[in-house]
Amino acid sequence: MLLLGLTGSIATGKSTVSSLLSKPPFSLPIVDADLIARQVVEPGTAGYNAIVRYFSPSTPDLLLPDAGPKGRPLNRPALGRRVFGHGEERERDRKVLNGIVHPAVRKEMYKQMVWAYLKGHWAVVLDVPLLFESGWERYCGTVLVVGVSDPKIQMRRLRDRDAHLTEEDARNRVMSQGDVREKAQRCLRRGPGKGVVVWNDGDKDQLKRDVEKVMQDVRKGSPKWWSLLLWLCPPLAGIAGLASWWKMRRVQLAWEEEKKKDKVKL
């Protein structure tokens, strides 16, 4: 089974592409890290309790006033203002939040990937905004980056979608997920068929056509007979997965080493 990593940045159209891949003619299962991240911090969960313990003293409006069956939900805009942006304090709080959420998200993602394999899907989409930053790229046979060539498009789309955000809030959220154009470069370094980029500068119809074209190429690299063989022979699937992981790990380390050298030059 192919692990197809889907990433981009906020307001680049990644969620639209995820929706397209979940429907015919693709009908692929989606492991949505953002959705899972919301589920693991719902009232009553261990993640929710940990966030409340840490952030309540510094964030008075952390919880919404209306309580549900299990308690008062998190006030996500307030929590976002607390952790997004620059400064040592915000960076520290962001690390704490990630340390609470990420382990719970990974556990649930593993469960969903195994279930998709057992059901015989030829591929499963790992929808992860911070795919490269979190190290998930090395697990993916193919990575698809959805990007925009002009940062102004990204900012406009974000503020159109989330009207409550100020220009500064929008800029902080965009910057917190890294430059999508750099992600595209990193993706293409994986090689043909292993890294593909869709530039979403146009309308949804154009995006749909571009996704269909890209997925035709991805499917050629993972034909039906190979997918069936991996499903029928789990040990072979394990060997193929390890080989792909090792190769993509080398690509990842080479990229990181190159960036370190660039920083030294500066």
End-of-domain residue from the set 103, 118, 133: 118
Domain range for residue 46?
38-118
Q: What's the rounded mean pLDDT across residues 25-39?
A: 93
How many domains are contained in the chain?
2
Chain Cα centroid distance, residue 70: 28
Residue of 240 and 175 predicted with greater confidence = 240
Task: Give the pTM.
Answer: 0.83
Check whether residue 94 and residue 179 sit in a common domain. Answer: no
Structural domain ending residue among the three candidates 95, 118, 141: 118
Helix 14-22 vs helix 204-220: crossing angle, to nearest 10? 60
Same domain, 243 and 263: yes
Give the pLDDT score at 21: 97
For residue 266, what pLDDT band results from cuts at 50, 70 and 90?
A: low
Per residue in 96-123, pLDDT (tens digit) is 998 998 898 999 999 999 999 999 999 9
**Can you tell me the mean pLDDT for 45-52?**
92
- What span, in angstroms and rounded, lies between the C-alpha atoms of 65 and 135? 37
* pLDDT, tens digit, 9 for 90 and up, residues 168-226: 887 777 777 778 899 999 999 999 889 999 999 988 999 999 999 999 999 988 888 99
CA atoms within 13 A on the CB side of 100: 21
The pLDDT, as a whole number, for residue 161 is 85
Q: How confident is the model at residue 49 (pLDDT cuts 50, 70, 90)?
A: very high
Q: For 128, how many CA atoms within 13 A lie in the half-sphere containing its CB?
A: 24
Looking at the structure, tell me whether residues 4 and 135 fall in a common domain.
Answer: yes
Average pLDDT over residues 31-53: 92
Arithmetic mean of pLDDT, 219-236: 90
Looking at the fold, whether 222 and 247 belong to one and the same domain comes out as: yes
Does residue 179 share a domain with residue 112?
A: no
Residues 84 and 52 in one domain: yes
Give the model confidence (pLDDT) of 54-105 as tens digits: 998 888 888 888 877 788 899 888 888 888 878 888 888 889 998 998 898 9
CA distances for 256 relative to 36, 89, 251, 262, angstroms: 28, 26, 9, 10
Write down the pLDDT at residue 45. Answer: 92
pLDDT tens-digit map of 132-163: 988 899 999 999 999 998 878 888 888 888 87
Q: Are residues 65 and 104 in the same domain?
A: yes
d(CA 148, CA 174) in angstroms, rounded, equals: 12
Q: Are residues 144 and 177 in the same domain?
A: yes
136, 253: one domain: yes
CATH of the domain at 180: 3.40.50.300
User: Do 4 and 55 share a domain, yes or no?
Assistant: no
First and final C-alpha spacing in the chain:
42
The total of other beta-carbon atoms located within 10 Å of residue 109's CB is 20
Given 79, 100, 118, the domain boundary residue is: 118
In a shared domain, residues 140 and 238:
yes
Query: Is the bond leading into 77 cis (omega within 30 degrees of zero)?
Result: no
| C-alpha to C-alpha distance for 33 and 124, rounded to whole angstroms | 13
3-state secondary structure the chain: CEEEEEECCCCCCHHHHHHHHHCCCCCCCEEEHHHHHHHCCCCCCHHHHHHHHHHCCCCCCCECCCCECCECCECHHHHHHHHCCCCHHHHHHHHHHHHHHHHHHHHHHHHHHHHHHHCCCCEEEEECCCCCCCCHHHHCCEEEEEECCCHHHHHHHHHHHCCCCCHHHHHHHHHHCCCHHHHHHHHHCCCCCCEEEEECCCCHHHHHHHHHHHHHHHHHCCCHHHHHHHHHCHHHHHHHHHHHHHHHHHHHHHHHHHHHHHHHHC
Burial of 141 per CB tally in 10 Å (0-12, 13-18, 19+): buried
- Whether residue 176 is found in the same domain as residue 265: yes
Can you give the pLDDT at residue 210?
95
